[in-house]
Amino acid sequence: MEFIQQNILLVTVAVVSGAMLLALSVRRPGSANSLTPTQATLLINRENAQLIDIREPNEYVSGHLSDSRNIPSESLAERAGELEQFKDTPVILVCQSGARSSAACSTLAKLGFSKVHSLAGGTVAWVEAGLPLKKGARK
C-alpha cells in the first residue's frame, strides 16, 4: 500500500494504459468475424472454406488469393445466389485492407450465411504474412 501511495502517478499511468488497451481490443470493428491470415489458412485447409474476393475486377487481376472467386462488393447481394451452396460452410471475404470485407460480412449474414468471416488486413496482411498471391483472372 505504501508503494502505491509513493508512486501514485506511475500506478495511474499503468492502470489507464491497461484500460485503453483493453478497450481497443474489445471495441475493434469486425473482430468477432475477422481472421488473421494464419487462421484463414487453417480454415481453408481444415474446413474447405470458400474465398470470395470482393474487390473490383481490375484489383482482382492484379493479385488475388489462389482459388478465390471474384464478386465485387457492389454486386454481392445480387449475386448471392451463386454462393447458395456455401450457406453452411465457412466463407472468407477478402478485400485490399479488410475494411470492405468487414462491411460485406453483414450483407451475407443477413442473407442467411451462417459462417461468414473477413480476412483482417485483406490482401495486404496476406502478403505481409509471406503468403502468395496469384496474378491474372481465375480459370
Residues 99-139 have pLDDT tens digits of 888 888 988 989 889 899 999 999 999 999 999 999 887 64
Which residue in 83, 95, 104, 120 is the catalytic one? 95
Specify the CATH number of the domain 32-128: 3.40.250.10
The predicted-structure confidence for 21-59, as pLDDT tens digits, reads as follows: 877 666 554 455 889 999 999 999 999 999 999 999 999
| Residue 50, φ and ψ in degrees, nearest 5 | -95, 135
Using CB atoms within 10 A of its CB, is residue 14 exposed (0-12), middle (13-18) or buried (19+)? exposed
Instruction: Please confirm, yes or no, whether 105 is among the known catalytic residues.
Output: no
DSSP 8-state secondary structure symbol assigned to residue 49: P
Contacts of 51 (CB under 8 A, 6+ apart): 44, 65, 67, 68, 69, 92, 94
pTM of the model: 0.76
| Residue 2 cell numbers, joined | 505504501
